[in-house]
Amino acid sequence: MKKIRKRSFIVLLMTIAFFAGLVYHTVNIYINAKEWVMKPQNLHLTAAGNLDHGGKILDINNVVLAQSIDGERIYNDDELVRKACLHVVGDDKNSNIFNCIQEIYRADLIGYDFTFGLGMPKDLRKGKDIRLTIDSNLQKAALTALGDKKGAVIFYNYKTGAVACMVSTPTYDPQNRPNDLESNEAYEGVYLNRALWGQYTPGSTFKLVTAAAGLENIRDIENKVLQCKGADIIGNEAITCEFSMGTVNMRDAVCYSCNIYFGHLATELGKARMFKQAEKMGFNSRIEFDGMESAKSVYDVSEADVNDFAWSGVGQYNTLETPINVAMISAAIANGGIPVTPYIVQSITDNDFEHSSSFGNAIMSAETAEKLSDYMDYAVENNYGKYRFSSRFDVCAKTGTAEVSEDGQDAHAWITGFCKDEDFPYAFAVVVEHGGSGYDNAIPVAAAVLSAAEETLDSGMTYK
Amino acid sequence: MEFWELVAFTLRIAAPILAFIILSVCFWSLNDGRRTDHALVVLQDDNTGKIYPVTFWENLIGRSDKADICVENDMTISREHAVLLRRDTGWFVTDIGSKAGVYVNEKKIKGRCMVYIGDKISLGNTSLILRRVDETKESSRTRVSGTAVKKSVSGTFLLALITFYIIMISTEAMIYVRDILYLIPVALFVAVMWIFHKFSDRFMKIKHFELESIAFLLTGTGIVMCNTYSSRLGYMQLIATIIGLCIFSFIVWFIKVPDRVIYWRLIMSVFAILMLGAAAVFGREVNGASNWVFIGPFSFQPSEFAKVAYIFIGAGTLDQLQKLQNLLGFIIVTAICILILGYISDFGSALIFFVAFIIISYLRSGDMRKIMTIGAVAIIGAFFILTLKPYVAERFQVIGHIWEYSDSLGYQQTNTLVCSASGGLFGLGTGNGNLRYVMASESDLVFGAISEEMGLISALMLAVTIGGFMIYARAVIIKSRSVFYSMAACSAGGLLVFQAALHIFGILGMLPLTGVTLPFVSYGGSSMMACWGLLAFIKSADERTYYKKSTAEIPKKGEVLI
């Protein structure tokens, strides 16, 4: 009997291991429950109507963007604000709008806690309020400026990461949902937040990447010059400029957007170094912040011939970039080569959650950033015209006019840049789909948002 | 609706508290009612007068310090010399192959020999005289011999509490299911519970009911749960429970005399192999494994019944085990069983059999090295299987990466985690969950479904309770009436715990998902019957199960006990 008792420790050991497993599970679920609850496969959250008793969503100035009153989700009073914030806030009755605050923070909004899970009766549950970094005034200005055009605008603070403006069009009013969302061509891709998920040919905005690669890899490249005759043969085919620019160095090439210069620069750098720089600057990976994520920007020259590769250096060929990625490169240039991670949730009530900034690895050296910043400044002074952006802010920028292969379609109009001003340290990117030239059609959109920011500053409020 | 929602919410919080109280009372009563460590009889050395207290029903006598009665300083005694056993009819001594032999009253014995108070048992140069405890000086220190049984918590009281608990959880479920007919299977289950209690009290003469109460609580929770899927499942589970109770009672009665069981071993071996063979020949494939046999409208899993038979095969009384040291026959039966299970792709059951084999063979031989060797061979075999059946290997790949496979091989696991997290500590309400819409969740994912709908506390409590069976089995084995019961209880408990672990950690993505049931709780007739069958072994390990007043008496020479 004693022997059996002694040997039976083997089953006791097994039972203890079993209990240890249960403890592990309990700790695991305690730590991760919130993340799991918010998984898209959780039908308890995705089922419509759960935000009937949810908390508020506020903008940076505590303007209510969405709230629940008497079991109904009500959005901001102003139709323009509702439309402008649709892709950030989301629509509780339409789960097609994805990767938005109401989806990502649903657990907080409906008052999930570990003890009661989602099991607390709705009347007893208290949702948390979420304050965003978004400024509804800028949102409105951006939407108005985009008008009927499809496109995206993103403005974010290159020192702290706070996203003040993120608008995507087409959009609709979540308070008065149109019935023809699926059928009307004007609403094509309406569910997509283009600022994060739109993948566009970057055109000349990509020259910042090629220029950075050149400055990082080839000594004294900025002083080398090239004769631009309006067209040149690289590989078997031509690479062309809008006009013949004569003798150009890198600064001129950025300012007047010389394709031939950057085609040759890319060729000189070679695929490996270009690819490395592009990956460093966010290509082929997602940008993620506060549960939001972007599509991947694409730079893939593995099968490009010599001419294709030269075109890739000016942001054509098969290169694709998301607006957030474009803005992120400007933000890094403005911040000495170090990109700040964007954020959109400023605080969550009763959660003691307050955002703290975080930074990524340097995507270029401080000297390179300094030089690129100078070139963008030069481009605004000498080509785009300072007055066209703002009378107050000191803007550095780079336009882009991305040729798209579809026949008869206008090019995508791009502008990216940043304000050097201490009171508005924001980087931005604007894309207008088939908007034509960046110079003519993207700059006014950025200017409209900047002027709204001016008004805000004039009224005594500040941007963090 | 809002009022009822509030009622349901309150019930959800109250029910686990009540369940906790019931389980605590049961386990406390089980522990408290155990016999104290006093001697049953004593052996007195004829020459020196040294007293050896005999505390167990089966005692190994020998020179080894691992023997229950260790006679030192006599080199003529073998390390393991004889076994002194207590049976309902009295005390017996058996020679287990000693060199010097065993003599009772100067006569050499063969096989078992009954001994009376005052008889002299001679082993080598030492003679021991069997005495009552109160005839010796020991009596001043120990209480009067016999099996002192404390009064346990009354079964009626426990059942009343469980009935109340089931009313609570089924009322809560009613609020979401909204079908009055739903209550019928649950009501019938409560009736079955009370009838069984009367039956076991009246006819089986079992006076304590804690273990059955605990199992009823698990079974009841399971029935309320799967009944909300559809009352067809509720009725099926009810029928399975009734058959399970019959099997339970039968086994408790059948193994009352452990010496009798030994002759059934061969038949049990044949039964187990035939059962599994039937699955291999007539088995129909359901969810990957062809372990289902259909007879008319009924379907069952033969491997579940083979598990119960397997315990019979492995266990034995102390004197038998000492004589049959080698495990060869047992290993052969095990190997056949596991091979058949591998053939029909029932890897969950194969794993359970293997673990049961490890437990039983270790309990029998105590030889860790031998077990390790067998384990190594098994692992090589397992790798061989993994190359033959790539889909089994896939299940291992998913471990630790379930989120990457959340729409394929990790679908059930990730849904379990997501739903459990949504349920919180008290659940979303029985019938209000989403995990139930995942295929086979009523059996394979029931831990997750309960976690989601009744709350993490309830789910954990059920799991801990199954572990509690094992802890209890281990606590009583040393005082059980035979090594047979100790071994059977340990292996049955180990089986239940391992199966629970395979179920729970499988669906949580910590072990491969094998689709085994959670004992007593999952939907599944064969599983339910087998669980009650296994519980019978644990029940019989407690000497109180077979307690009769007469056993307290030990006959003097010439007396016979009935």
What is the interface pTM, i.e. ipTM, of the complex? Answer: 0.92
> Within this chain, do residues A7 and A60 fall inside the same structural domain, yes or no?
no
Q: Other CB atoms closer than 10 Å to residue A77's CB: what's the count?
A: 10
Q: How far is A353 from chain B (nearest CA, A)?
A: 21
3-state secondary structure (DSSP) of residue A408: coil
Q: Are residues A230 and A115 in the same domain?
A: no
Q: Is A41 on the interface with B (CB under 8 A)?
A: yes
Count how many pairs of residues, chain A against chain B, have C-beta atoms within 8 Å: 165
d(CA B534, CA B495): 8
Question: Are A272 and A336 part of one and the same domain?
Answer: yes
Confidence of residue B471 (pLDDT cuts 50, 70, 90): very high
Q: Environment class of residue B365 by beta-carbon count within 10 Å: exposed (0-12), middle (13-18) or buried (19+)?
A: middle
Residues of chain A with C-beta less than 8 angstroms from the C-beta of B423: 117-119
- One domain, residues A305 and A439: yes
pLDDT per residue as tens digits for the range A27-56: 999 999 888 888 878 888 766 447 777 888
- Read off the amino acid at residue B309: A
Phi-psi region of A218 (alpha: psi -120 to 50; beta: other; left: phi over 0): beta
Question: A464 in a domain, yes or no?
Answer: no
Quick check: B275 contacting A, CB < 8 Å? no
Q: Give the closest-approach CA distance of B486 to chain A in angstroms.
A: 8
- Token digits of residue B528: 């339910």
Min Cα separation A39/chain B (Å): 7
Is there a contact between A8 and B415 if contact means CB atoms under 8 Å apart?
A: no
Q: What is the CATH number of the domain that holds A68?
A: 3.90.1310
User: Smallest CA–CA separation between B499 and chain A, in Å?
Assistant: 10
CA-based nearest residue to B213, from B559, B535, B561, B540: B535
pLDDT for B184: 93
Q: Do the chains contact at B501 and A114, CB–CB below 8 Å?
A: no
A47 located within any domain: yes
A124 and A216 part of one domain: no
Computed on alpha carbons and rounded to an integer, the radius of gyration of chain B in Å comes to 26
CB contact B21 to A (< 8 Å): no
B463 at A interface, C-beta within 8 A: yes
Q: What is the pLDDT of residue A464?
A: 65
Number of domains observed in the structure of chain A? 3
A36 interfaces chain B, CB cutoff of 8 Å: yes
Q: Is the peptide bond before A178 cis (omega within 30 degrees of 0)?
A: no
Comparing alpha-carbon positions, the chain B residue that sits nearest to A120 is B9
Q: List CB contacts (< 8 A) between B417 and chain A.
A: 29, 32, 36
Rounded to the nearest angstrom, the minimum Cα separation between B505 and chain A is: 8
B318 touches A at CB < 8 Å: yes
Q: Is residue A463 part of a domain?
A: no
Q: Which of A2, A7, A11, A53 to mutate: most B Cβ within 10 Å?
A: A11
Give A31's contacts in chain B (Cβ within 8 Å): none
The answer to whether residues A86 and B397 touch, using CB atoms and an 8 Å cutoff, is no
Considering only the beta carbons, identify the residue of A12, A123, A124 that sits closest to B474: A12
Last residue of a domain, one of A115, A132, A149: A132
* Same-domain check for residues A175 and A126: no
Cross-chain residue pair A36–B497, CB shorter than 8 Å: no
To 5 degrees, how large is the angle CA A76–CA A78–CA A84? Answer: 80
A388 within a domain of the structure (yes/no): yes
pLDDT above 70: residue A440? yes
B241 touches chain A (CB under 8 A): no
A306-344: string of b/e by CB count within 10 Å (b at 16+)?
ebbbbbbbbbbbebbbbbbbbbbbbbbbbbbbbbbbbbb
Contact B363 A18 (CB under 8 A): no
Between B558 and A377, name the one with better pLDDT.
Answer: A377
Average pLDDT over residues B382-407: 81
Among the partner-chain residues A3, A21, A39, the one whose CB lies closest to the CB of B501 is: A21
Q: Does B422 touch chain A (CB under 8 A)?
A: yes
On whether residue A261 sits in a domain, the answer given is yes
Instruction: Please check whether residues A272 and A289 belong to one and the same domain.
Output: yes
Q: Smallest CA–CA separation between A145 and chain B, in Å?
A: 42
Q: Tell me which of A6-10, A425-429, B158-162, B545-549 is least confident.
A: B545-549
Q: Where residue A6 falls among pLDDT bands split at 50, 70, 90?
A: confident
Q: Is B487 on the interface with A (CB under 8 A)?
A: yes
Question: What band does B439 get if pLDDT is binned at 50, 70 and 90?
Answer: confident
CB A376 within 8 A of CB A395: no
Angle at B434 (CA atoms; ends B429, B440), nearest 5 degrees:
110
pLDDT at B386 over 80: no
On whether the CB atoms of residues B106 and B90 are closer than 8 A, the answer is no
* Whole-angstrom distance, CA of residue A9 vs CA of residue B278: 36
Domain containing residue A112: 35-132
B window 63-82, beta carbon within 8 A of A: 66-68
Contact A4 B483 (CB under 8 A): yes
Stated pTM of the model: 0.78
Q: How many residues does chain A have?
A: 464
Between B48 and B207, the more confident residue is B48
Q: Are residues A321 and A441 in the same domain?
A: yes
Q: Do B417 and A15 touch (CB under 8 A)?
A: no
Task: Report d(CA B425, CA A30) in Å as an integer.
Answer: 10
Phi, psi angles (nearest 5°) of residue A168: -135, 135
pLDDT reported for residue B555: 52
Q: Token pair of A358, please?
A: 């975080």
**Domain end among A132, A148, A173:** A132
Instruction: List, for residues A394-407, the tens digit of each pLDDT value.
Output: 999 999 998 887 76
Chain B residues 496-515 with CB within 8 Å of chain A = 497-498, 500-501, 504-505, 508, 510
The reported pLDDT for the residue numbered B417 is: 93
- Cα–Cα distance for residue pair A103/A91, rounded to 1 Å: 9
Three-point CA angle B386, B392, B393, nearest 5°: 60
Statement to judge: residues A298 and A252 lie in one domain: yes
Does any CB of chain A come closer than 8 Å to the CB of residue B52? no
CA nearest to A166, candidates A158, A149, A154, A157: A154
The verdict on A191 and A334 lying in the same domain is yes
Instruction: Render pLDDT for A85-124 as a digit per residue (tens, 0 to 9).
Output: 999 998 888 878 888 888 888 888 888 888 888 887 777 7
Domain boundary among A116, A132, A148: A132
Q: pLDDT at residue A459 above 50? A: yes
Q: Are residues A152 and A87 in the same domain?
A: no
Average pLDDT over every residue of B3-20? 92
Closest CA to B94 of B108, B79, B75: B108
> Hey, is the C-beta of B212 within 8 angstroms of any chain A C-beta?
no
- Residue A427 maps to which CATH number? 3.40.710.10
Query: Do A200 and A72 share a structural domain?
Result: no
- Which residue does chain A place closest to B368, by CA atoms? A7
As a residue count, chain B comes to 562
- Between B320 and A295, the more confident residue is A295
